[in-house]
Structures are given as structure tokens and as C-alpha cells.
Amino acid sequence: NAGVTQTPKFQVLKTGQSMTLQCAQDMNHEYMSWYRQDPGMGLRLIHYSVGAGITDQGEVPNGYNVSRSTTEDFPLRLLSAAPSQTSVYFCASIGTGQTEAFFGQGTRLTVV
Amino acid sequence: AQSVTQLGSHVSVSEGALVLLRCNYSSSVPPYLFWYVQYPNQGLQLLLKYTTGATLVKGINGFEAEFKKSETSFHLTKPSAHMSDAAEYFCAVSRNTGTASKLTFGTGTRLQVTL
């Protein structure tokens, strides 16, 4: 009963490096989303997907890419990390016709 | 466009006292409304939600919230606070089009419970 699994849990990057945050869900949910959480700002939507092969931008998409080749996986790519991307990242999924979002445990990313 | 305003970034109550966390929303269409709780170093867990029907909704851990359309509010309450309620609470709204994957969150309220 894994739910939504995010890896890694912690990561330190140097400015300019690239990396991929992984997100996998085993609930056969169609909808998946990425959020970033910053102090005093709540969670903000980065990208979301309504099914395999379909993605769209959220509120703060700049500097991030996503793809959805399978229902289970929704990786988030940082192409060239910047200190402004230091944040906690959460992946979430929702089943078709459902309203409750299930969140992963988060990835704490520090860009130095 | 949707937005959520949570009044008070920090709320402190005594154990056994009433908990009231305020949330006001703005939405151009009938909304879905949610309260999530986040314990330290963990993800978000759904406390309760309003989609349609009864405007007073009950959630886990003794929390409840009332949807008041005229006041565009969805305040969270609990009659008697417990030490284990100390956490950060987020109010969120989504469009009721079935695509609830696009949540708009408030900035959060950190609840402190003192002896």
C-alpha cells in the first residue's frame, strides 16, 4: 500500500546542475501534480497531468519540465538549477471522479 | 481565477480550548473546498472536504468546517484542542469540474497548542 512515492527525500545541487525528481503512484490515478512549498507562500502548482501523454503548466512552471509516459510515473526535471528553486517539492495524485488528492512525503531540495 | 486567504499565519490555543482557523476563498465557479494538515517533515493529509450537499462537513480527528457561500468562507473548527493537533493547516480550493488536480492553496496557519 505504497500510495505516492517520491525520491529522493533530500538533495543538494550546485547552481546550474540538472536533476530529476521522481514521483510514482500505485493507485492507477489519472491526475498527477507537482507543487512547491515555500515558507509563507503555501503550496504552488508547478505542472500537472490529466493522463498519460498529457501535461500542462501550473502557476509557477518556469525552470521545470515534466512528462507523463505512463500512468504511474510523473517525473519533474530541473534543467539548470537556481537558488530560487530551493524548496520542498510535493507530488500528488487524484483518481478519476474523485476529489481527494494523495500527497507524497516530499523532496527537500537545496540549490547552492 | 481562484484564490484562498487564511487569516493568521500562527494561532496559539490552550489544550482543551476551541480551535478556529479561518479561510476565505474566491472562485468564479462553485468550488470544491478542502482542509489539509501537515505534520513536521511530512506530506499533506486530507482533514475534510466540501464538494456538494451538506454545508457542515466533519473530518478526521474531531475537526469540522462549514461552507458559507454568502460569506465565501470555510472556517475550520474543533471544540477542544489536543496537543497532537499542533501542525500546519492549509485551506485549498479547486474548480468543481472534475479536475481537482489543480488545487489553489492558502499560505497556511501554524497551530500551536499549549498546556
At residue B96, the pLDDT reads 57
pLDDT in tens, chain B (115 residues): 789 999 999 999 999 999 999 999 998 777 899 999 999 888 899 999 998 889 999 999 999 999 999 999 999 999 999 999 999 999 999 875 555 568 899 999 999 999 9
Give the residue on B whose Cα is nearest the Cα of A108: B41
With an 8 Å Cβ cutoff, the interface of chain B facing chain A consists of 4, 6, 9, 32, 34, 36, 41-46, 49, 51, 90, 92, 94, 98-108
Substitution target in B103, B104, B107 with the highest count of A β-carbons within 10 Å is B103
C-alpha cell at B31: 468550488
At residue B40, the pLDDT reads 87
At residue B39, the pLDDT reads 93
- Percent above pLDDT 70 for chain A: 99
Low-confidence winner among A37-41, A65-69, B92-96 (lowest mean pLDDT): B92-96
B85: DSSP letter = G
At residue A96, the pLDDT reads 81
Taking an 8 Å cut-off on Cβ atoms, the answer to whether A103 and B43 are in contact is yes
A1 touches chain B (CB under 8 A): no
Which 3 state secondary structure label does DSSP give B69?
helix
Substitution target in B9, B10, B44 with the highest count of A β-carbons within 10 Å is B44
At residue A81, the pLDDT reads 97
Nearest to B106, CA basis, from B38, B41, B28: B38
DSSP per-residue codes, chain A: ---EEEE-SEEEE-TT--EEEEEEESS--SEEEEEEEETTTEEEEEEEEEETTEEEE-SS-TTEEE--SSSSB--EEESS--GGG-EEEEEEEE-TT--PPEE---EEEEE-
Taking an 8 Å cut-off on Cβ atoms, the answer to whether B101 and A94 are in contact is yes
Give the residue on B whose Cα is nearest the Cα of A40: B107
Taking an 8 Å cut-off on Cβ atoms, the answer to whether A99 and B106 are in contact is no
Give all strands (DSSP E) within chain B, no chain letters.
Answer: 3-7, 10-14, 19-26, 31-38, 44-50, 56-58, 64-68, 73-78, 87-95, 104-105, 109-114
Q: Distance (Å, rounded) from C-alpha A84 to C-alpha A6?
A: 21
Taking an 8 Å cut-off on Cβ atoms, the answer to whether B100 and A40 are in contact is no
Model confidence at A1, in pLDDT bands (50, 70, 90)? low
| Contact list, A32 vs chain B (CB under 8 Å) | 101
Q: Order of strands, edge to edge, in the sheet holding A76-78?
A: A4-7, A19-25, A76-78, A64-66
- Cell 462553485 maps to which residue? B30
